[in-house]
A and B are shown apart, each in its own frame.
Chain A
Amino acid sequence: MMTAIFATMFLALLAGWLGRSAIAVGILIVCLALSVWLFLFEIYSPATGFRMPWLQTELGAPAPCAASCAAREA
């Protein structure tokens, strides 16, 4: 995928340099879309996705007391 991103960026630069502005912008937008997709993939991929374990983004498991305390209150 990264190869496709750099290939489209190179083609966009080349087309822009050769004066084909409309084609160049079109290819650049494809490149941007692929880049955004890959960025999101890198973030959310369960296999290779990057994590930030020091940031608590979900409610953790209930505290050890929670179950027994709830039962006692009931």
Chain B
Amino acid sequence: MSFNNQTLDHLKKLCKLECSPEEDQNILESLTRILEYITQLDGIDTDNVKPCRYVLQGMMKNQMRDDEVKDLLSREQFLANAPDQIGGMIRVPPVMKNP
């Protein structure tokens, strides 16, 4: 397994995250070290082991509820934290181009 600049560029696209060249270098070095460390798991026999998806096996149950509309947060409260807004809505740059 190799982890290089190309992998890093691919990851940055996947998680929508830009980094400075200095950060890139630092992240590349750290991740290489960490990935090397976690290869220690390779040697463990897990052939007949189920993955742990919920840790309290005895307590697992679906928490179902009726799909009711509730008044939890007003438009005003919600928009109070929006970085940009217009006419009671959040404003973003155009996402579609004119034909």
A joins B in a complex: no
